[in-house]
Structure formats: structure tokens, C-alpha cells
Amino acid sequence: MEISTGKTSRIEVVDSLRGFAIMAILLVHNVDHFFFPEFPTHSPHWLTILDQLSVKIIFTLFSGKTYAIFTMLFGFTFYIQHNNQKKKGKDFGYRFLWRMALLAVFAVLNAAFFPAGDVLMLFVYVSLVLFICRNWPDRAVLVFIIVLLLQPVEWIHFILSRFNPAYQLPDFSAVSLHQQVVENTKNGSFLDFIRVNVTLGQKVSLMWALGSGRFLQAAGLFLLGFYIGRKQFFINTPDNLRFWKRVLIISSVSFILFNIIKKLLLQSDPMAQQTVGLIFDIWYKLALTFVLIASFVLLYEKRFFRKRLSGLRFYGKMSLTNYVSQSIFGALIYFPIGLYLAPYCGRTFSLVIGIAVFSLQMMFSRFWLGKHKQGPLEGIWHKWTWINS
């Protein structure tokens, strides 16, 4: 059975799941002021408690998890495109490399308004793994996924530190570099803001990704989405529903287990915390990611859930447009180049702003897709991908 690109329920659930991920990323970024650490210095006690609760709920549920969903679905989309061209006797690989070169342009546009750099540029670099592995057999792809998600680099650091007590982790200076970007955001002109963001800001993002295991995780998730596409797990069949139920059970147990181990590792020496502790933090978040994915897929089969959340498919179909525009909204709302509301918006109020921005984007997505097949940036990306094809 082949995945159809038509309007099947399973393709709908993928679009809705992608929309859910982009929405959650927007809420996380708003609560965190798009990595611009300025908040009110004085708030009523009740509001301080509410702010703490907002941070705990949003970050526990979404931070690092919905990014993983977004990343995995990137690999799934590659499978759809690659498979459609393969059925026509064509190799999508080289066209995909050109497509990633175009994505780099959108990454620069997004980074211009996002002081913490941009995950899209990470996607551009890591996407090479999809090109390399596109014709590998399923078993080889699965083995490579496992190797990548095991975070071998962090294990190597940990093992070396056991043999050499003086061993030091590489310093990528992401924190100090980000502080420079923040200072420029506070004091620089608009042109300085753009220039520093697309240069130093991008460096911050990539250095942080190197130090936090994001490169290998992104590669593993890309291939996992590709593998899920090959195995047709988003097709609506009884076997696949049983598969997602098993995923839900295993990931729930793993989430609890990894969280316990992670907390125990916080009591160990600093090197173990920074290596093995980081690994189990990644695994803990990944397990919760699959709790979210499996729950979403299974609940989407229920009419009441699908009826209330199927509108997210419009938001998901315009994921690139909505992802880039949320950074622009964030800059204009919170930063000195715009309204500069960061010092006046606590976490809870920022969450409300995020919900309002999401609502506006959702209305625009419905309106736009009522008249066009793709979102504005998606249309440009598609047109230039296939130019002179």
C-alpha cells in the first residue's frame, strides 16, 4: 500500500499534527520572549505564582518535544516527495538538495528577527543525511536511526572522562555569544539587529545545537520520519492503530523511567551530568514526544477530537509561513525595534499574546488556503524547487 497525496484521514492527521507542533513552538517562544530575557521586575504575588505555573506547564509539555515532532515530520515529508518521484522513475535527491539551498534563504529571513538563531538552518545542514540514506534498505536506516538517537558523541565524552579526570568538554561558547546578541537587541539599531541576528545569532544556534546533541538528534528524527513514511504507519489501519497504542504504552513507561534516571544523575559528578545526564534528558523528552504523537494520532480517530482539532491542518499546511511570521510577530511585540513589551509582559500575559497570535495566524491560514493550494512561502518554495524541471 502506498501513501496517497490525496485528502486521506492519515495525511490530514499529519497536517494537523504539524500544525499542533508549530502552535506549541509559538507558545513556548512567547512564554520565553523569543529567547529575549527581559520580564517585569515586580508583579503581584498571585501573578508571580500564575507565571511560574504557566512556565512549568508549557515547558514541561512542549519545550523540546514539539520541535522533535516538527523535525520528524520534515523527514516524513521528504519520504512523500521522494516516493512520488520514484514512482515516476525519477530521483528526487538532487532536487531536494536545491530545495534545501532555498530553505537556507528562508532560514536567514527567520533568523533576522530571532536573536537565538534559527532551527531551519540546522535543518539545511542535517538534511544531507536524508540525501545520503534515501535509497538505503529499511534495516540499515533503522540501525542508523538507533545509533544517532543513542547520542554516541556524548557517550564518548563520558567514557574519555572516566579514563582522564582532567578531560574537558569542548566549549562552544553558546551562552556568552547569546549574551552578545541580547545586548545588541537591547541597544542596537534596526540594521544592527538584523545584521547581528543573521550572523552571530545563527552561530549561537548552531553552537548550541552542537553542545546539546541536537545535530545527531535532528538527523535521527529526520530518518525516523522517513522510516515511518516507508512503513506507512500514518495510514489508517487496525494494525497501525495497535502500533500507536504500543508506542503510547512504551513511551509512557520510558518517559517515567528516563525522568527518574535523569534526576538521579543530577546528584552525580558534573561531567556525568553534562554527558550521560544530557543523554537521558534528551531521551526523556523524546519519550514524552512520542506520548504526544501517539496520543494525538489515536485521539484523532475519535470524532469529537477530530472535529475540534482538524482545523489545525490548515495551520500545518502553512507551517513554513506560520513559523517565519511568528518570529516577526515576536520581534515586533517584545523587542526594542517594535513595541518593546518584554519588560511589561510576564509569562502568563505573554502566553495570552501567543494564543492571540496563533488565532490570527489560524484565521489567515484558513482564508489563504480557501483561495490557494499552498501558503505564501510554501508557494514560493514549491515554485522555485521545480523551476525548469
DSSP assignment letter at 197: I
pLDDT, tens digit, for every residue of 104-159? Answer: 999 999 999 998 778 999 999 999 999 999 999 999 999 999 999 999 999 999 99
Long-range contacts from 169-174, C-beta under 8 angstroms, 24+ separation:
169/211, 169/271, 169/274, 169/275, 170/210, 170/211, 172/207, 172/208, 172/210, 172/211, 173/207, 174/204, 174/207, 174/208, 174/211
Residue 97 clears pLDDT 90, i.e. is over it: yes
Distance between start and end Cα atoms, the chain: 28
Average pLDDT over the chain, rounded to an integer: 93
Q: Tell me the three cell numbers of residue 194.
A: 538584523
Between 263 and 3, residue with greater pLDDT = 263
Q: What is the mean pLDDT of residues 277-294?
A: 96
Most distant pair of Cα atoms in the chain: their distance: 65
pTM comes to: 0.94
Q: What is the mean pLDDT of residues 28-54?
A: 95
Give the whole-angstrom CA distance, residue 137 versus residue 139. Answer: 6
Q: Tell me the three cell numbers of residue 52.
A: 511560574
Q: What is the mean pLDDT of residues 39-58?
A: 95
Residue 6 clears pLDDT 70, i.e. is over it: no
pLDDT, tens digit, for every residue of 331-371? Answer: 999 999 999 999 999 999 999 999 999 999 999 999 999 99
Give the whole-angstrom CA distance, residue 332 versus residue 48. Answer: 25
Cα 163 to chain centroid distance, Å, stands at 36
What is the phi/psi pair of residue 285, to 5°?
-70, -35
SS3 159: helix
Long-range contacts from 97-106, C-beta under 8 angstroms, 24+ separation:
97/131, 98/385, 99/381, 99/385, 100/124, 100/127, 102/381, 102/384, 102/385, 103/127, 103/381, 106/320, 106/324, 106/377, 106/381
SS3 3: coil
Local confidence band at 236 (pLDDT 50, 70, 90 cut-offs): confident
Q: What is the mean pLDDT of residues 267-286?
A: 94
Judged on CB neighbours under 10 Å (0-12, 13-18, 19+), 315 is buried
- Supply the angle between the helices 119-126 and 202-211 in degrees, to the nearest 10: 60
**pLDDT value of residue 275:** 95
**pLDDT value of residue 11:** 77
CB 22 within 8 A of CB 29: no
Q: Positive or negative CA dihedral for 209, 62, 264, 220?
A: negative
pLDDT, tens digit, for every residue of 240-251? Answer: 999 999 999 999
DSSP assignment letter at 370: T
Residue 58 clears pLDDT 90, i.e. is over it: yes
Give the whole-angstrom CA distance, residue 34 versus residue 58. Answer: 14
Residue 91, Cβ neighbours under 10 Å: how many? Answer: 12
Residue with cell 534498505: 137
Give the whole-angstrom CA distance, residue 300 versus residue 14. Answer: 10
Residue with cell 549574551: 179
